[in-house]
Structure 1
Amino acid sequence: MMKKYGKSLLLAVFCLIAVRYGFGQQRNLQFAWLTDIHIERGSKHIDDLKASVDDINSNKDVQFTIISGDISDFGYDMDLRIAKQVLDRLKKPYYIVPGNHDTKWSESGATGFQDVFDHRNIAFDYGGISFIGFQTGPIVRRGDGYITPDDFKWVEKEVEKAKKHNHIIIPFTHYPLNNSMSNWYKLSDYFKENKVPVVLVGHGHRNRKMDFDGLPGVMARTNPGRKSKDKNSPVGYTMVKVTSDSIYFIEVNPEINKRTLWHQLSIRPANYTDVKHMPDLSINKRFTNVKTVWQHQIPAGISAAASYDKGKIMVGDRAGLMHCFDLVSGKELWKFKTGKSIFSAPAIYDDKMVFGSADGFIYCLNTQSGKVLWKFAADKWVLGNPVIEDGKVLIGGSDGKFRAIDLQTGKQLWSFDGMKGWIETKPVVYDSKVYFGCWDNNFYALDVKTGALIWKWALNEIRSVSAFYAPAACWPVASNGKVFIAGPDQILTALDAATGKVLWRTKEQPRINEALGISADGSKVYVKAQKGNMLFAYSTKTTEPSIVWQTPVENGADDNQSAILEMDGHAYFTFRSGVAVSAESATGTINWEFKLGDVMLNPATPVDNGRVILSDVDGNLVLLYCSTMH
């Protein structure tokens, strides 16, 4: 009798546990999973997506579809809208999040995805499961994927909702939760705490069983088919089936009517080893000569360099706020709200500060009060960084135009039109010309007085490449009759400032990062190695590449495009790992290193007397003071 009672008690306890963790109910759930569809006007990828959509619609057992990023190939608003038109043909609901091709290469500053799909993160419940989809792509600036503070708070809120309903939690996002993300551990630690059984990801374009520090992950194949000499890969997507205790992953190839079960996992909530990860800031103990004076955390995150003028620090954030802080105390003096994210570092002259916003306006504010002096309406988003030269504001936008605007009145003086890409760079003015790159694969030289085209140059003159190789993110520099640029081809190029002719290009080694800087005397160009842990200074005077100095650093591979700034004989390099390095301009000797966190730094803002402003994409803003040279 006691044995029977004991068995009944154990069964009752098991049932309670099963209900508590959402796997006691009978479940027969089936959904489709698309990822990395890479829509581009005129491409075969559109037909490939239509084939998968038609096949999904033919299966009456499919309850919904998830899409885990890289909706467009190059972030264009029109391509996102084309994708939506095709996806809207799905008969059942679909739930979509962006990928890095929608957020990094983005004419809208990653705001267009939300305009088209009405969200960037999305959560929904089905069959006792809470599906939580969220953005992890780098925003405008090249670098690792990461989860922003705002998005992480949103994930936390959705997980807490799911727990109140005793739901199983299945997150989906674009980036794998590994070292392809700078702060992956925030998500993996949190999901393990909450017994998440699996995370669904894209980005890698192939079916893959993954392990995120003990947390099971599944990567799904890209949707488009591909034909090559060696192998034909048919159009495909993933069908996911969920039962009471398991989840199954099946590749579906609609054009050849093939289905292949390739993976199976338990859907039951898991118990993980409790391991917590934190940023390693031990480097800060090595360099005791640099100290934090004050620090702020701006919740929306920062994706632009700060600017300094007359005791004030001005910096924009991704919520569209321009902030002004007192340099000495760190107190916020004023803030001004634009309509969308700011990726533009303010240009300042005579108490006037000018910057662009993804809301499509160029603003001029009074630096003392934050009051609007004028604003200019562009035809699209404005991500470009302005310069002020002889009373003119020079700035590019996403409308294929580069403009000169009168600083006093806000009236347009001239416009160079017809470019087929967007502009995010900060132009350089040199020898009566203004130079800048554009995501149409061209680098331009215009007459600074009239806006007339003097010349343009493209890497296609040397070899055939796509616009992904455009020298559009680097801030060009100029000296000694040369303009210097670096692009995703990882080569430093010196162009004749007068003609655009290539004077020299570095060889394939070292691979050069897109971040550039120039010494105050114009004799050296500063660059970082894309791989190889090295800082370089090249001479601007020579007729072929000539290294003045090179200095080893310990920051790993780096693709952070943040410009290199110099002041008082010190050059400031910032890295995707959250590390800033100060080096002597003349010799490359390291003065100090400082780690702010684990996410990408924006360009440093040197102030004076050993003071420098750092900021990162998480929204940390800090004033550092270096008392002596290390």
Structure 2
Amino acid sequence: MKNFSGRIIITIFLLSSFTFLRGQDFRFALITDTHVTKDSLAYNDLVRSVNQVNSTPGISFVLVTGDLTEEGDGESLQKVKDLLDKLNVKYYAVSGNHETKWSESGATDFGRIFGSERFKFTHNGYTFLGFNTGPIIRMMDGHVAPQDITWLEKEFLQAKAGTPFILVTHYPLLDGDVDNWYEVTDLARKYNVKAILGGHYHSNRLVFYDGIPAVINRSNLRDKTDNIGGYSIYEVNNDSILVYEQKIGRVPRKWGGYDLNKVYYTEDNSSYKRPSDSVNTVYPKVKPQWITKIGNTIYSSPVVYDGKIYVGDDTGLLSCLSLKSGKHIWNFKSDNKIIGTPAASDHIIVFGSADKCIYAINAITGKLVWKYLTEGAVLGAVTIDGGIAYIGSGDHTMRAINIKTGKLKWEYSGIKGYIETRPLIYDDKVIFGAWDNNMYALEKETGKLLWSWNGGLTRMHFSPAAVWPVAAHGKVFFTAPDRVLTALDAETGKTIWRTKESMVRETIGLSADKTRLYSKTMQDSVVCYSAVGSEPRKIWSVNAGYGYDHAPSMPVEKNNVVFGSTKNGIIFALGADTGKLLWKHKVGNSLINTVVPLNGRSCLFTSGEGIVGLLSIQDK
């Protein structure tokens, strides 16, 4: 009875607090950054918000703007949906980076559970457009996929002239948050976009995205200052869009808004910051020999085999290109995203897809050889050794499959997290990390577990899962998001040494003579350590001037040159012996995946912008 009376008091309190809103066009709620896990206080915070929205009169709909979960898993997403379904009004949701970066489904669970990765609806003359700002699996800046920009443009063009739009994203469309923010803002400024709404920063802020009014909203999580959760309430009328902070059980507090009759921007973008490629004038001999636009975001590295290049993209398309010219030869379409890097051998190319299948394709004709169905999205990169493909999946399983027959040799499913890395074959072992804090070693012939290593990691997000491990001199080397370079005994899995001296993250490469390790730090520098000995020994460190970077793109040595790449379109080359910077070149402003050097003067690359290219030193 006491709880029931309390609810009546709160409802009366909220009714009285909104009496001044009579006559306004409409109101809606915005809930963001709920960060629900399988069992957490965050879920209880969302319960309170749902209950309060339901007890508040006049709410027309609810926007849910990303980071619904902490780990992007299907169970947590379903839990959030089941709760949101209890809202008395319709709701519209977009995903956040926690649904796309850490996702055993390859970021497909969100669309499956919520019905779509985008939304469009019209209310009282306003058209609302919500879309994903990524990134998918890779650690990089947010990114709006080319196909989503095409969709956005189509919706703008199809609308009646003068239609007012409100865009809904998770990431702020700002430099440093979304790598191709300017593609969206330049498009949006051609139309009547009244505001862009979202979250990510866990705080209330009024900002402008290249002149376009925007609102960043507080997290639904309880504040550290008063231990109270909350969300936002918007009211829209003929003159303004106003935003209120609604803490649970409190009077809503108006804190910002915009004049809907004011012209804030024009199409002209000359006064807004844009990425600079001035570094290319410093090294003018380094140029693309050719560039091919795939048109869809690419999160895997190129594969070179028999004079051809094979590239997978996030629409599920495997493209075969000419190494010489970059021209298309054939395409093969799987039913969902290709995240992991393929591998080729014996005229067969093997790759995994988020459609839960492993594919083998004839490398010459592009025809299907076989398809193997798994229980989860196949996100892992492929390693082929002795006619056997080794590949990990979102169903927490590592598999060994005969590449000619498609017959399963063995599978190991005692893994607690999903797999995205490329497995390492070393001393008759299959070595790989997973998103469960562990590094594993399986017997190559049987798949039997030989050892696993945890290292005392406490958060899933610190797992050595994105890095491609390397091995030499009886040691396995890797880096993880905990910014530690680790060496393990390859036979036992015991720690030999760990160092946080250089603050490296998720990148590692091995020299051709197997004596040196290369890794990127998160700010400008590349470091080189000895792969020999029982203690960490730094050989050199160089400031490569690439800025802040956390992309899991591996350094690769070829002909005594170390090639590397970054999250913002830069490819660089260093002298392997000394670390001397040889050159840098900017090919865009998005993630460059692990490059493939052809020799000491050229390398192939793929980009989040959907391009494949051959970069080289050109003397003429």
- Which range, TM-score by smaller chain? over 0.9
Q: Provide the TM-score with structure 2 as the length reference.
A: 0.92
**1:305-454 alignment runs, 5 A limit:** 305-454=301-450
The amino acid across from 1:445 in the alignment is: A
Give CA deviations for 1:346-385 in whole Å, capped at 9, x if unaligned: 1111211111111111111111111222221111110001
Q: What is the aligned partner in structure 2 of residue 138 from structure 1?
A: 135
Tell me how far apart the structure 2 counterparts of residues 186 and 371 of structure 1 sit (CA, whole Å): 36
SS of residue paired to 1:512:
coil
1:540 paired with 2:536, answer no
> Is 1:510–2:502 an aligned residue pair?
yes
Is 1:552 the counterpart of 2:543? The answer is yes
For residue 105 of structure 1, the aligned residue among 93, 102, 124 is 102
- The 8 Å contact of residues 221 and 230 in structure 2, kept in 1 or not, is answered as yes
How many Å separate the matches in 1 of 2:123 and 2:289?
Answer: 50
For the Cα contact (< 8 Å) 1:197–1:266, is it kept in 2? Answer: no
Pairing partner for 2:33 from 18, 28, 36: 36
Superposed counterparts of 1:53-64, under 5 Å? 53-64=50-61
* Pairwise CA RMSD: 1.8
Range that drifts further, 301-310 or 256-265: 256-265
Tell me the equivalent position of 1:529.
Answer: 521
Matched, 1:456 2:449: no
CA contact under 8 A between 1:192 and 1:271: conserved in structure 2? no
**1:220 maps to which residue?**
217
Match of 1:250 in 2: 244
CA distance in 2, matches of 1:466, 1:388: 31
Match among 480, 501, 507 for residue 473 of structure 2: 480
How far apart, in 2, do the equivalents of 1:434 and 1:380 lie? Answer: 20
CA distance in 2 between counterparts of 1:496 and 1:268 reads 67
Would you say the 8 A contact 1:356–1:385 is kept in 2? yes
8 A contact 1:195–1:270 mirrored in 2: no
**TM-aligned CA deviation for residue 278 of structure 1:** 4.4
Please state whether the residue corresponding to 2:369 is helix, strand or coil.
strand
| Alpha-carbon separation, structure 2, partners of 1:153 and 1:406 | 40
Determine the C-alpha separation between the residues in 1 that align with 2:99 and 2:609. 19
Aligned pairs, number: 594
The percentage of counterpart residues that share the same residue type is: 38
* Structure 1 gaps, min length 5: 1-25
- 5+ residue gaps, structure 2, are 1-22
Amino acid of the structure 1 residue aligned with 2:112: D
SS class of match (1:102): helix
Query: Which amino acid is the alignment partner of residue 562 of structure 1?
Result: S
Q: What is the SS of the residue equivalent to 1:399?
A: coil
- The answer to whether the 8 Å contact 2:339/2:380 transfers is yes
Structure 1 counterpart of 2:602: 611
Give the 3-state SS of the residue equivalent to 1:64 in structure 2. strand
Secondary structure in structure 1 of the residue aligned to 2:466: coil
C-alpha deviation, 1:628, in angstroms: 6.0
Query: CA distance change for structure 1 residues 609 and 557 in 2, over 3 Å: closer, same or farther?
Result: closer
Task: Work out the CA distance in 2 between the residues paired with 1:121 and 1:446.
Answer: 41
2:84 matches 1:95: no
Determine helix, strand or coil for the equivalent of 2:184.
Answer: helix
CA contact (8 A) 1:517 1:526 kept: yes
| Offset, 1:226 | 5.1
Distance 2:364 2:358 in 1: 19
- Structure 1 residue 119, shift from structure 2 partner: 1.4
Distance, in Å, in 1 between the alignment partners of 2:287 and 2:204 is 47
* Deviations 1:554-610, CA, capped at 9 Å, x for gaps: 210100111222222222101011000122222222332111101111111122473
**Is contact 1:530–1:559 with CA below 8 Å preserved after alignment?**
yes
Which residue identity does 2:467 align to in structure 1? Answer: C
Deviation string, structure 1 residues 508-538 (Cα, Å, up to 9, x no partner): x42112111111111111101112x111111
Q: Secondary structure of 1:101's partner?
A: helix
Report the Cα distance in structure 1 between the residues aligned to 2:371 and 2:184, rounded to whole angstroms: 40
1:519 alignment partner in structure 2: 511
CA distance in 2, matches of 1:288, 1:247: 49
1:21 maps to: none
Task: Say whether 1:46 aligns with 2:63.
Answer: no
Q: Secondary structure at the match of 2:417?
A: coil
How far, CA to CA, are the matches of 1:366 and 1:130 in structure 2? 46
Equivalent position of 2:282 in the other structure: 286
Q: Deviations over 1:159-210 (max 9, x none)?
A: 3344x25322211111112222212222233333435332212001122222
Does the residue aligned with 1:137 lie in a helix, a strand or coil? coil
2-structure distance, mates of 1:185, 1:207: 23
Match of 1:498, SS state, is: coil
1:459·1:465 contact (CA, 8 Å) conserved in 2? Answer: no
Q: Which amino acid in 2 is paired with 1:374?
A: W
Please give the alpha-carbon distance, in whole angstroms, between the structure 1 residues aligned to 2:504 and 2:115.
39
- Shifted more, 183-192 versus 345-354: the winner is 183-192
2 CA distance for matches of 1:489 and 1:356?
Answer: 28
Give the TM-score, by structure 1 length.
Answer: 0.91
| Residue 468 (structure 1) aligned to one of 443, 461, 469 | 461
Q: CA deviation at 1:269?
A: 4.9
Task: Note if 1:496 corresponds to 2:493.
Answer: no
- Report if aligned partners of 2:478, 2:485 keep a CA contact under 8 Å in 1: yes
Q: Aligned residue for 2:181?
A: 184
Q: Is the 8 A contact 2:277 2:586 kept in 1?
A: yes
What is the CA distance between 1:392 and its match in structure 2?
A: 1.7
Report if the CA contact (8 A) 1:39-1:72 is conserved.
yes
